[in-house]
Structure 1
Amino acid sequence: MSERQLPTPGQGEQLSCSPDRAGMPRPVQESGTPDWRRYEVAARRFGELIASGIAEAMEQKRDVDQGTARCIAHVLGRGLGRESALANFARTGEGNYEALREEYLSLHNHEEVNASTQELIDWLGVHLIRQKHPDAKSVLYVEAYPPRLDNILVPTGVEVGDWYLRVNVPGIYGAKDIQELTETLGELAVDRDVALRAYLSLPDTNAMSGDIMEDFHDCYLGVFTTFEEAIHELTEVDERERDVFTYAEDRQLVIEQMNPDYEALREEVADAFDLVEEEGRVYVFHK
Protein backbone atom coordinates (compact mmCIF):
# COMPACT_ATOMS: atom_id res chain seq x y z
CA MET A 1 0.00 0.00 0.00
CA SER A 2 1.44 3.38 -0.89
CA GLU A 3 2.36 5.89 1.78
CA ARG A 4 -0.49 8.12 2.92
CA GLN A 5 -0.08 11.58 1.40
CA LEU A 6 -0.91 14.95 2.90
CA PRO A 7 -3.57 16.92 1.06
CA THR A 8 -2.32 19.28 -1.61
CA PRO A 9 -3.74 22.74 -2.33
CA GLY A 10 -7.29 22.37 -3.54
CA GLN A 11 -7.83 19.14 -1.58
CA GLY A 12 -7.86 20.70 1.87
CA GLU A 13 -5.89 23.13 3.96
CA GLN A 14 -2.74 24.66 2.48
CA LEU A 15 0.23 23.09 4.25
CA SER A 16 3.01 25.30 2.92
CA CYS A 17 4.49 28.03 5.10
CA SER A 18 2.49 30.91 3.70
CA PRO A 19 2.25 34.37 5.35
CA ASP A 20 -0.71 35.32 7.45
CA ARG A 21 -3.06 38.14 6.53
CA ALA A 22 -0.64 40.76 7.83
CA GLY A 23 1.99 39.45 5.44
CA MET A 24 4.23 37.92 8.14
CA PRO A 25 4.71 34.24 9.11
CA ARG A 26 2.85 33.32 12.27
CA PRO A 27 5.32 32.93 15.17
CA VAL A 28 5.62 29.97 17.48
CA GLN A 29 3.24 30.31 20.39
CA GLU A 30 4.79 31.26 23.70
CA SER A 31 5.89 28.24 25.75
CA GLY A 32 2.97 26.86 27.75
CA THR A 33 0.33 28.77 25.76
CA PRO A 34 -0.66 26.68 22.75
CA ASP A 35 -3.51 27.94 20.61
CA TRP A 36 -5.98 25.13 21.26
CA ARG A 37 -8.65 26.71 19.08
CA ARG A 38 -6.46 26.49 15.97
CA TYR A 39 -5.51 22.96 16.95
CA GLU A 40 -9.15 21.88 17.30
CA VAL A 41 -10.11 23.35 13.92
CA ALA A 42 -7.27 21.46 12.22
CA ALA A 43 -8.02 18.29 14.19
CA ARG A 44 -11.60 18.28 12.90
CA ARG A 45 -10.50 19.00 9.34
CA PHE A 46 -7.90 16.22 9.22
CA GLY A 47 -9.53 13.86 11.72
CA GLU A 48 -10.79 11.33 9.20
CA LEU A 49 -7.45 11.09 7.40
CA ILE A 50 -5.54 10.63 10.67
CA ALA A 51 -8.06 8.09 11.98
CA SER A 52 -7.67 6.04 8.80
CA GLY A 53 -3.88 5.96 9.18
CA ILE A 54 -4.11 4.98 12.84
CA ALA A 55 -6.64 2.22 12.11
CA GLU A 56 -4.28 0.79 9.50
CA ALA A 57 -1.38 0.88 11.95
CA MET A 58 -3.46 -0.80 14.65
CA GLU A 59 -4.57 -3.54 12.29
CA GLN A 60 -1.00 -4.28 11.21
CA LYS A 61 0.53 -3.76 14.69
CA ARG A 62 3.03 -1.17 13.51
CA ASP A 63 3.77 2.53 13.79
CA VAL A 64 1.87 5.05 11.68
CA ASP A 65 3.32 5.75 8.25
CA GLN A 66 5.14 8.95 7.34
CA GLY A 67 2.11 10.58 5.75
CA THR A 68 -0.04 10.07 8.82
CA ALA A 69 2.77 11.26 11.09
CA ARG A 70 3.13 14.47 9.06
CA CYS A 71 -0.61 15.02 9.19
CA ILE A 72 -0.60 14.67 12.98
CA ALA A 73 2.36 17.05 13.16
CA HIS A 74 0.44 19.58 11.05
CA VAL A 75 -2.55 19.46 13.38
CA LEU A 76 -0.34 19.81 16.47
CA GLY A 77 1.73 22.49 14.79
CA ARG A 78 -1.38 24.63 14.33
CA GLY A 79 -1.37 25.07 18.08
CA LEU A 80 2.24 26.27 18.14
CA GLY A 81 2.55 28.39 15.02
CA ARG A 82 3.82 27.95 11.49
CA GLU A 83 7.45 28.45 12.48
CA SER A 84 7.37 25.55 14.94
CA ALA A 85 9.43 22.41 14.40
CA LEU A 86 6.20 20.40 14.17
CA ALA A 87 4.81 22.61 11.42
CA ASN A 88 8.10 22.35 9.52
CA PHE A 89 8.07 18.54 9.83
CA ALA A 90 4.50 18.54 8.48
CA ARG A 91 5.62 20.51 5.43
CA THR A 92 8.94 18.78 4.73
CA GLY A 93 8.95 15.42 6.50
CA GLU A 94 12.23 16.44 8.12
CA GLY A 95 13.24 17.90 11.45
CA ASN A 96 15.52 17.74 14.47
CA TYR A 97 14.31 15.02 16.82
CA GLU A 98 15.16 16.89 20.02
CA ALA A 99 13.36 20.05 18.85
CA LEU A 100 10.29 18.05 17.80
CA ARG A 101 10.34 16.15 21.10
CA GLU A 102 10.36 19.30 23.20
CA GLU A 103 7.39 20.69 21.26
CA TYR A 104 5.17 17.63 21.32
CA LEU A 105 5.97 16.96 24.99
CA SER A 106 5.02 20.55 25.85
CA LEU A 107 1.58 19.76 24.39
CA HIS A 108 1.38 16.24 25.84
CA ASN A 109 2.07 17.53 29.35
CA HIS A 110 -0.02 20.68 29.13
CA GLU A 111 -2.67 21.08 31.81
CA GLU A 112 -5.41 21.62 29.22
CA VAL A 113 -4.60 18.66 26.96
CA ASN A 114 -7.18 15.89 26.59
CA ALA A 115 -6.65 12.13 26.31
CA SER A 116 -7.33 11.94 22.55
CA THR A 117 -4.69 14.60 21.85
CA GLN A 118 -2.19 12.77 24.04
CA GLU A 119 -2.86 9.62 22.03
CA LEU A 120 -2.12 11.46 18.78
CA ILE A 121 1.13 12.74 20.30
CA ASP A 122 2.04 9.20 21.38
CA TRP A 123 1.59 7.95 17.81
CA LEU A 124 3.69 10.78 16.38
CA GLY A 125 6.38 10.59 19.04
CA VAL A 126 6.85 6.84 18.72
CA HIS A 127 7.03 7.21 14.93
CA LEU A 128 9.79 9.82 15.25
CA ILE A 129 11.68 7.73 17.80
CA ARG A 130 11.56 4.66 15.54
CA GLN A 131 12.85 6.74 12.64
CA LYS A 132 15.89 7.75 14.67
CA HIS A 133 16.30 4.53 16.67
CA PRO A 134 14.76 1.55 14.78
CA ASP A 135 15.90 -0.90 17.47
CA ALA A 136 14.50 1.04 20.44
CA LYS A 137 13.18 -1.40 23.04
CA SER A 138 9.87 -1.40 24.84
CA VAL A 139 9.52 -1.13 28.61
CA LEU A 140 6.93 -3.91 28.31
CA TYR A 141 7.66 -7.53 27.44
CA VAL A 142 5.06 -7.36 24.69
CA GLU A 143 4.74 -4.07 22.84
CA ALA A 144 1.31 -2.56 23.30
CA TYR A 145 -0.94 -0.84 20.76
CA PRO A 146 -1.84 1.94 20.66
CA PRO A 147 1.77 2.90 21.51
CA ARG A 148 2.64 5.17 24.41
CA LEU A 149 5.68 7.36 24.84
CA ASP A 150 6.23 6.11 28.38
CA ASN A 151 6.56 2.53 27.04
CA ILE A 152 9.42 3.08 24.58
CA LEU A 153 13.08 3.41 25.62
CA VAL A 154 15.06 6.00 23.69
CA PRO A 155 18.88 5.67 23.47
CA THR A 156 20.08 9.01 24.83
CA GLY A 157 23.56 10.48 25.14
CA VAL A 158 24.60 12.06 28.45
CA GLU A 159 27.93 13.46 29.64
CA VAL A 160 29.03 12.68 33.18
CA GLY A 161 32.43 14.04 34.04
CA ASP A 162 34.76 13.01 31.23
CA TRP A 163 32.46 10.17 30.15
CA TYR A 164 29.92 10.17 27.36
CA LEU A 165 27.30 7.51 28.08
CA ARG A 166 24.42 6.05 26.11
CA VAL A 167 21.52 5.38 28.44
CA ASN A 168 17.90 4.52 27.73
CA VAL A 169 15.15 6.93 28.71
CA PRO A 170 11.37 6.50 28.18
CA GLY A 171 10.12 8.73 25.38
CA ILE A 172 7.90 10.73 27.72
CA TYR A 173 10.93 12.54 29.18
CA GLY A 174 12.39 15.74 27.73
CA ALA A 175 15.55 17.80 28.05
CA LYS A 176 14.91 18.99 31.63
CA ASP A 177 14.37 15.43 32.89
CA ILE A 178 17.44 14.17 31.03
CA GLN A 179 19.54 16.93 32.61
CA GLU A 180 18.29 15.89 36.05
CA LEU A 181 19.17 12.27 35.24
CA THR A 182 22.67 13.38 34.23
CA GLU A 183 23.09 15.10 37.60
CA THR A 184 21.86 11.97 39.40
CA LEU A 185 24.35 9.80 37.50
CA GLY A 186 27.07 12.23 38.52
CA GLU A 187 26.06 11.87 42.18
CA LEU A 188 26.22 8.08 41.74
CA ALA A 189 29.78 8.43 40.40
CA VAL A 190 28.92 6.46 37.29
CA ASP A 191 32.09 7.78 35.65
CA ARG A 192 34.08 5.69 38.18
CA ASP A 193 31.80 2.64 38.31
CA VAL A 194 32.48 0.41 35.32
CA ALA A 195 29.88 -2.20 36.24
CA LEU A 196 27.15 0.43 36.55
CA ARG A 197 28.07 1.89 33.15
CA ALA A 198 27.86 -1.59 31.65
CA TYR A 199 24.40 -2.06 33.17
CA LEU A 200 23.14 1.29 31.91
CA SER A 201 24.32 0.45 28.39
CA LEU A 202 21.90 -2.48 28.12
CA PRO A 203 19.13 -1.62 25.62
CA ASP A 204 16.33 -2.63 28.01
CA THR A 205 17.66 -0.83 31.10
CA ASN A 206 15.35 2.02 32.05
CA ALA A 207 17.56 4.77 33.45
CA MET A 208 14.41 6.53 34.72
CA SER A 209 13.10 3.55 36.71
CA GLY A 210 13.25 5.50 39.97
CA ASP A 211 16.02 3.55 41.71
CA ILE A 212 18.93 2.83 39.41
CA MET A 213 21.18 1.37 42.09
CA GLU A 214 18.57 -1.05 43.42
CA ASP A 215 17.87 -2.29 39.89
CA PHE A 216 21.60 -2.59 39.26
CA HIS A 217 22.26 -4.67 42.39
CA ASP A 218 19.27 -6.90 41.68
CA CYS A 219 20.63 -7.73 38.22
CA TYR A 220 24.41 -7.72 38.68
CA LEU A 221 25.95 -11.21 38.81
CA GLY A 222 29.70 -10.64 38.45
CA VAL A 223 32.69 -9.72 36.31
CA PHE A 224 34.96 -12.01 34.30
CA THR A 225 38.18 -11.66 32.34
CA THR A 226 36.81 -13.04 29.05
CA PHE A 227 33.53 -14.11 27.46
CA GLU A 228 34.72 -17.73 27.56
CA GLU A 229 35.37 -17.53 31.29
CA ALA A 230 31.92 -16.04 31.89
CA ILE A 231 30.13 -18.61 29.73
CA HIS A 232 32.18 -21.42 31.31
CA GLU A 233 30.88 -20.39 34.72
CA LEU A 234 27.30 -19.66 33.69
CA THR A 235 26.80 -22.98 31.88
CA GLU A 236 28.71 -25.04 34.45
CA VAL A 237 30.99 -26.54 31.81
CA ASP A 238 33.08 -28.42 34.41
CA GLU A 239 29.96 -30.19 35.68
CA ARG A 240 28.93 -31.08 32.13
CA GLU A 241 32.38 -32.51 31.41
CA ARG A 242 32.28 -34.67 34.55
CA ASP A 243 28.90 -36.02 33.50
CA VAL A 244 30.25 -36.94 30.05
CA PHE A 245 33.37 -38.63 31.49
CA THR A 246 31.23 -40.62 33.93
CA TYR A 247 28.88 -41.65 31.12
CA ALA A 248 31.85 -42.79 28.99
CA GLU A 249 33.54 -44.72 31.80
CA ASP A 250 30.34 -46.62 32.58
CA ARG A 251 30.39 -47.84 28.97
CA GLN A 252 34.12 -48.60 28.81
CA LEU A 253 34.80 -45.63 26.56
CA VAL A 254 37.83 -43.37 26.74
CA ILE A 255 37.51 -39.67 26.00
CA GLU A 256 40.85 -37.90 25.97
CA GLN A 257 39.69 -34.32 25.29
CA MET A 258 36.55 -32.18 25.14
CA ASN A 259 36.29 -28.70 23.70
CA PRO A 260 33.29 -26.55 24.68
CA ASP A 261 31.46 -24.83 21.83
CA TYR A 262 31.41 -21.37 23.39
CA GLU A 263 29.40 -19.79 20.58
CA ALA A 264 26.60 -22.33 21.03
CA LEU A 265 26.79 -22.01 24.80
CA ARG A 266 26.57 -18.22 24.53
CA GLU A 267 23.31 -18.57 22.60
CA GLU A 268 22.11 -20.93 25.33
CA VAL A 269 22.62 -18.36 28.10
CA ALA A 270 21.29 -15.41 26.09
CA ASP A 271 17.72 -15.86 27.34
CA ALA A 272 18.76 -15.63 30.98
CA PHE A 273 21.83 -13.38 31.07
CA ASP A 274 23.25 -10.24 29.48
CA LEU A 275 27.00 -10.11 28.90
CA VAL A 276 28.58 -6.68 28.40
CA GLU A 277 32.21 -6.01 27.56
CA GLU A 278 33.43 -2.80 29.17
CA GLU A 279 37.05 -1.67 29.51
CA GLY A 280 38.43 -5.09 28.63
CA ARG A 281 36.31 -7.11 31.08
CA VAL A 282 32.97 -8.89 30.81
CA TYR A 283 30.10 -7.95 33.14
CA VAL A 284 27.19 -10.32 33.59
CA PHE A 285 23.61 -9.40 34.52
CA HIS A 286 20.44 -11.39 35.10
CA LYS A 287 17.76 -10.44 32.58
Structure 2
Amino acid sequence: MSELEPRERDTDRLASSAARYEDRIDAGLAAAMREKRELDVGVVRLIARVVGRALGRQSAFAEFARSGEGDFKALSPEYLEIYNDPSTPATVRHWLDWLGTYFVHTAETAAIEPANETRSLRRNTTSVRGIEVVFHAARDLSDADLEAIQRELELLDVDRDRALRAYLSLPDVDAGGAQMMERFHDAYAGEFSTIDEALYGLVELREWEKELEQWTAERGLLSDAASIDLDVIESQTRELYDFGKLEGTIYAFWK
Protein backbone atom coordinates (compact mmCIF):
# COMPACT_ATOMS: atom_id res chain seq x y z
CA MET A 1 0.00 0.00 0.00
CA SER A 2 1.34 3.44 -0.90
CA GLU A 3 2.01 5.81 2.03
CA LEU A 4 -0.26 8.32 0.31
CA GLU A 5 -3.27 6.02 0.02
CA PRO A 6 -6.04 6.32 2.63
CA ARG A 7 -6.18 3.51 5.15
CA GLU A 8 -8.59 2.25 7.75
CA ARG A 9 -7.98 3.04 11.39
CA ASP A 10 -4.97 1.06 12.63
CA THR A 11 -5.13 0.46 16.40
CA ASP A 12 -1.70 -1.23 16.44
CA ARG A 13 -0.11 1.86 14.94
CA LEU A 14 -1.95 4.00 17.47
CA ALA A 15 -0.64 1.95 20.39
CA SER A 16 2.95 1.77 19.13
CA SER A 17 3.08 5.47 18.30
CA ALA A 18 1.61 6.35 21.70
CA ALA A 19 4.27 4.27 23.44
CA ARG A 20 7.01 5.97 21.40
CA TYR A 21 5.97 9.50 22.34
CA GLU A 22 4.43 8.90 25.77
CA ASP A 23 7.30 10.38 27.78
CA ARG A 24 7.43 13.59 25.72
CA ILE A 25 3.67 14.10 25.75
CA ASP A 26 3.32 13.38 29.47
CA ALA A 27 6.15 15.83 30.19
CA GLY A 28 4.28 18.49 28.20
CA LEU A 29 1.06 17.78 30.12
CA ALA A 30 2.91 17.98 33.43
CA ALA A 31 4.43 21.35 32.46
CA ALA A 32 1.00 22.70 31.49
CA MET A 33 -0.49 21.59 34.82
CA ARG A 34 2.45 22.94 36.80
CA GLU A 35 2.29 26.34 35.08
CA LYS A 36 -1.54 26.37 34.91
CA ARG A 37 -1.67 27.00 31.17
CA GLU A 38 -2.81 25.37 27.95
CA LEU A 39 -0.66 22.80 26.18
CA ASP A 40 2.28 24.02 24.15
CA VAL A 41 1.46 23.74 20.45
CA GLY A 42 4.42 21.38 19.97
CA VAL A 43 2.82 18.89 22.37
CA VAL A 44 -0.54 19.32 20.63
CA ARG A 45 1.06 18.48 17.30
CA LEU A 46 2.75 15.46 18.85
CA ILE A 47 -0.61 14.13 20.08
CA ALA A 48 -1.97 14.81 16.59
CA ARG A 49 0.89 12.79 15.13
CA VAL A 50 -0.03 9.81 17.32
CA VAL A 51 -3.67 10.00 16.20
CA GLY A 52 -2.62 10.62 12.61
CA ARG A 53 -0.60 7.40 12.60
CA ALA A 54 -3.82 5.48 13.21
CA LEU A 55 -5.88 7.39 10.65
CA GLY A 56 -3.33 7.71 7.84
CA ARG A 57 -1.39 10.49 6.12
CA GLN A 58 -4.47 11.93 4.43
CA SER A 59 -6.31 12.48 7.71
CA ALA A 60 -6.92 15.95 9.13
CA PHE A 61 -4.93 15.00 12.23
CA ALA A 62 -1.91 13.95 10.17
CA GLU A 63 -2.04 17.26 8.28
CA PHE A 64 -2.28 19.22 11.53
CA ALA A 65 0.73 17.31 12.91
CA ARG A 66 2.76 18.20 9.82
CA SER A 67 1.81 21.85 9.40
CA GLY A 68 0.18 23.12 12.59
CA GLU A 69 -2.83 24.10 10.49
CA GLY A 70 -6.20 22.41 10.26
CA ASP A 71 -9.91 22.91 10.02
CA PHE A 72 -11.61 22.27 13.35
CA LYS A 73 -14.72 20.92 11.60
CA ALA A 74 -12.54 18.33 9.89
CA LEU A 75 -10.67 17.45 13.09
CA SER A 76 -13.79 16.98 15.21
CA PRO A 77 -15.15 13.80 13.51
CA GLU A 78 -11.71 12.16 13.66
CA TYR A 79 -11.34 13.22 17.29
CA LEU A 80 -14.67 11.60 18.19
CA GLU A 81 -13.90 8.51 16.10
CA ILE A 82 -10.73 7.80 18.07
CA TYR A 83 -12.09 8.93 21.43
CA ASN A 84 -15.19 6.73 21.22
CA ASP A 85 -13.38 3.66 19.93
CA PRO A 86 -13.29 1.06 22.77
CA SER A 87 -9.87 -0.12 21.57
CA THR A 88 -8.27 3.31 22.07
CA PRO A 89 -5.77 3.11 24.97
CA ALA A 90 -6.77 5.00 28.11
CA THR A 91 -3.57 7.04 27.86
CA VAL A 92 -4.51 8.31 24.41
CA ARG A 93 -8.04 9.10 25.55
CA HIS A 94 -6.54 11.15 28.41
CA TRP A 95 -4.41 13.06 25.90
CA LEU A 96 -7.50 13.67 23.78
CA ASP A 97 -9.23 15.21 26.81
CA TRP A 98 -6.41 17.74 26.94
CA LEU A 99 -6.58 18.19 23.18
CA GLY A 100 -10.30 18.88 23.35
CA THR A 101 -9.71 21.61 25.94
CA TYR A 102 -7.00 23.08 23.74
CA PHE A 103 -9.34 23.21 20.76
CA VAL A 104 -12.11 24.81 22.79
CA HIS A 105 -9.80 27.58 23.99
CA THR A 106 -7.75 28.17 20.85
CA ALA A 107 -9.98 27.13 17.96
CA GLU A 108 -13.22 28.97 18.67
CA THR A 109 -13.22 29.97 15.02
CA ALA A 110 -13.16 27.20 12.44
CA ALA A 111 -9.47 27.53 11.63
CA ILE A 112 -6.45 26.75 13.74
CA GLU A 113 -3.73 29.31 13.20
CA PRO A 114 -0.19 28.24 12.23
CA ALA A 115 2.12 27.74 15.18
CA ASN A 116 4.84 30.13 14.01
CA GLU A 117 4.50 33.87 13.88
CA THR A 118 6.59 36.17 11.72
CA ARG A 119 8.84 38.32 13.87
CA SER A 120 11.48 40.88 13.02
CA LEU A 121 14.54 39.77 15.00
CA ARG A 122 18.14 40.86 14.78
CA ARG A 123 21.13 38.54 15.15
CA ASN A 124 23.50 39.40 17.99
CA THR A 125 26.65 37.87 19.41
CA THR A 126 28.08 38.10 22.89
CA SER A 127 30.71 36.33 24.97
CA VAL A 128 29.86 34.56 28.21
CA ARG A 129 32.96 33.55 30.15
CA GLY A 130 34.92 33.23 26.92
CA ILE A 131 32.24 31.28 25.01
CA GLU A 132 30.61 32.93 22.00
CA VAL A 133 26.83 33.01 22.20
CA VAL A 134 24.62 33.88 19.21
CA PHE A 135 21.11 35.08 20.01
CA HIS A 136 18.28 36.97 18.34
CA ALA A 137 16.22 39.80 19.75
CA ALA A 138 13.78 42.46 18.56
CA ARG A 139 15.37 45.01 16.27
CA ASP A 140 14.01 47.97 18.22
CA LEU A 141 15.64 47.04 21.55
CA SER A 142 17.93 49.61 23.12
CA ASP A 143 21.54 48.92 24.06
CA ALA A 144 20.40 48.73 27.68
CA ASP A 145 17.82 46.07 26.78
CA LEU A 146 20.46 44.00 24.97
CA GLU A 147 22.80 44.28 27.93
CA ALA A 148 19.99 43.02 30.20
CA ILE A 149 19.57 39.98 27.94
CA GLN A 150 23.30 39.34 28.06
CA ARG A 151 23.28 39.49 31.87
CA GLU A 152 20.37 37.04 31.92
CA LEU A 153 22.29 34.64 29.67
CA GLU A 154 25.21 34.77 32.10
CA LEU A 155 22.89 33.93 35.01
CA LEU A 156 21.55 30.97 33.00
CA ASP A 157 25.12 29.63 32.58
CA VAL A 158 24.53 29.46 28.87
CA ASP A 159 28.26 28.88 28.35
CA ARG A 160 27.82 25.43 29.94
CA ASP A 161 24.66 24.47 28.06
CA ARG A 162 25.28 23.69 24.39
CA ALA A 163 21.65 22.76 23.72
CA LEU A 164 20.51 26.16 25.01
CA ARG A 165 23.13 27.93 22.87
CA ALA A 166 21.94 25.99 19.81
CA TYR A 167 18.34 27.00 20.61
CA LEU A 168 19.26 30.65 20.99
CA SER A 169 21.02 30.59 17.61
CA LEU A 170 17.76 29.75 15.80
CA PRO A 171 16.65 32.81 13.80
CA ASP A 172 13.05 32.80 15.10
CA VAL A 173 13.88 32.44 18.82
CA ASP A 174 13.51 35.72 20.68
CA ALA A 175 16.00 35.72 23.56
CA GLY A 176 14.19 38.69 25.05
CA GLY A 177 10.74 37.09 24.89
CA ALA A 178 8.70 35.99 27.88
CA GLN A 179 9.37 32.59 29.50
CA MET A 180 12.37 31.90 27.32
CA MET A 181 13.59 28.93 29.38
CA GLU A 182 10.10 27.39 29.45
CA ARG A 183 9.96 27.72 25.67
CA PHE A 184 13.38 26.09 25.40
CA HIS A 185 12.39 23.10 27.54
CA ASP A 186 9.09 22.69 25.68
CA ALA A 187 10.83 22.80 22.31
CA TYR A 188 13.85 20.59 23.03
CA ALA A 189 13.55 17.24 21.24
CA GLY A 190 17.03 15.71 21.52
CA GLU A 191 20.62 15.79 20.35
CA PHE A 192 22.20 13.71 17.59
CA SER A 193 25.56 13.13 15.94
CA THR A 194 24.27 13.26 12.35
CA ILE A 195 21.12 14.31 10.53
CA ASP A 196 20.40 10.64 9.67
CA GLU A 197 20.57 9.76 13.36
CA ALA A 198 18.18 12.64 14.04
CA LEU A 199 15.71 11.32 11.46
CA TYR A 200 15.73 7.85 12.99
CA GLY A 201 15.30 9.35 16.44
CA LEU A 202 12.48 11.74 15.60
CA VAL A 203 10.27 9.85 13.14
CA GLU A 204 9.22 6.22 12.72
CA LEU A 205 11.83 5.40 10.05
CA ARG A 206 12.63 1.92 11.34
CA GLU A 207 8.94 1.03 11.40
CA TRP A 208 8.53 2.35 7.87
CA GLU A 209 11.53 0.32 6.70
CA LYS A 210 10.03 -2.84 8.19
CA GLU A 211 6.71 -2.12 6.46
CA LEU A 212 8.49 -1.53 3.16
CA GLU A 213 10.45 -4.75 3.60
CA GLN A 214 7.19 -6.63 4.18
CA TRP A 215 5.59 -4.90 1.18
CA THR A 216 8.40 -5.99 -1.18
CA ALA A 217 8.50 -9.52 0.25
CA GLU A 218 4.73 -9.98 -0.23
CA ARG A 219 5.15 -9.08 -3.91
CA GLY A 220 8.19 -11.28 -4.47
CA LEU A 221 10.47 -8.30 -5.07
CA LEU A 222 14.12 -7.97 -4.10
CA SER A 223 14.64 -6.10 -0.85
CA ASP A 224 16.33 -3.21 -2.66
CA ALA A 225 13.55 -2.85 -5.25
CA ALA A 226 12.07 0.02 -3.25
CA SER A 227 13.62 2.32 -0.69
CA ILE A 228 12.76 5.32 1.44
CA ASP A 229 14.09 8.64 0.15
CA LEU A 230 15.82 10.15 3.19
CA ASP A 231 15.99 13.55 1.51
CA VAL A 232 12.19 13.63 1.33
CA ILE A 233 11.92 12.44 4.95
CA GLU A 234 14.38 15.13 6.04
CA SER A 235 12.39 17.80 4.21
CA GLN A 236 9.16 16.71 5.89
CA THR A 237 10.85 16.44 9.30
CA ARG A 238 12.11 20.01 8.98
CA GLU A 239 8.46 21.09 8.75
CA LEU A 240 8.09 19.92 12.35
CA TYR A 241 11.52 20.59 13.82
CA ASP A 242 14.23 23.23 13.73
CA PHE A 243 17.82 21.97 13.81
CA GLY A 244 20.73 23.81 15.35
CA LYS A 245 24.30 22.58 14.97
CA LEU A 246 26.93 23.41 17.55
CA GLU A 247 30.40 21.94 17.99
CA GLY A 248 29.58 18.98 15.75
CA THR A 249 26.33 18.07 17.51
CA ILE A 250 22.86 18.51 15.99
CA TYR A 251 20.10 19.68 18.33
CA ALA A 252 16.42 19.29 17.40
CA PHE A 253 13.64 21.58 18.58
CA TRP A 254 9.90 21.52 17.99
CA LYS A 255 8.77 24.47 15.90
1:141 aligns with 2:121: no
Conservation of the 8 A alpha-carbon contact between 1:241 and 1:258: no
Matches for 1:128-207 after TM superposition, within 5 Å: 141-142=117-118, 151-207=119-175
- Mean CA deviation greater in 154-163 or 254-263: 254-263
Q: Deviation string for 1:61-119 (max 9, x for gaps)?
A: xxxxxxxxxxxxxxxxxxxxxxxxxxxxxxxxxxxxxxxxxxxxxxxxxxxxxxxxxxx
TM-score (structure 1 length as normaliser): 0.46
Distance, in Å, in 2 between the alignment partners of 1:224 and 1:183 is 29
Consecutive aligned runs of 4 or more in structure 1 exceeding 4 Å deviation: 256-260
1:213 aligns with 2:181: yes
Q: CA 1:153/1:207 → structure 2, altered by over 3 Å: closer, same or farther?
A: same
Match 1:248 to one of 194, 216, 220: 216
Distance, in Å, in 2 between the alignment partners of 1:265 and 1:140 is 21
Q: CA deviation at 1:257?
A: 7.6
Q: Which amino acid aligns with 2:128?
A: V
User: How many positions carry a matched residue from both structures?
Assistant: 141
Q: Deviation string for 1:226-261 (max 9, x for gaps)?
A: 111001222322111111111122223331586653
Paired position in structure 2 for 1:37: none
What root-mean-square deviation, in Å, do the aligned CA atoms of Structure 1 and Structure 2 show? 2.1
1:226 aligns with 2:202: no
Q: Secondary structure at the match of 1:159?
A: strand
TM-score (structure 2 length as normaliser): 0.51
Distance, in Å, in 1 between the alignment partners of 2:231 and 2:215 is 24
Q: Which runs of 5+ in 2 are unaligned?
A: 1-114
Q: CA 1:212/1:255 → structure 2, altered by over 3 Å: closer, same or farther?
A: same
Q: Which amino acid aligns with 1:230?
A: A
Paired position in structure 1 for 2:249: 281
Distance, in Å, in 2 between the alignment partners of 1:249 and 1:276 is 39
> Percent of aligned pairs with the same residue?
31
From the CA coordinates, give the structure whose radius of gyration is larger.
1
Q: CA 1:226/1:249 → structure 2, altered by over 3 Å: closer, same or farther?
A: same
Paired position in structure 1 for 2:91: none
Paired position in structure 2 for 1:237: 205
Question: More helix per residue: 1 or 2?
Answer: 2
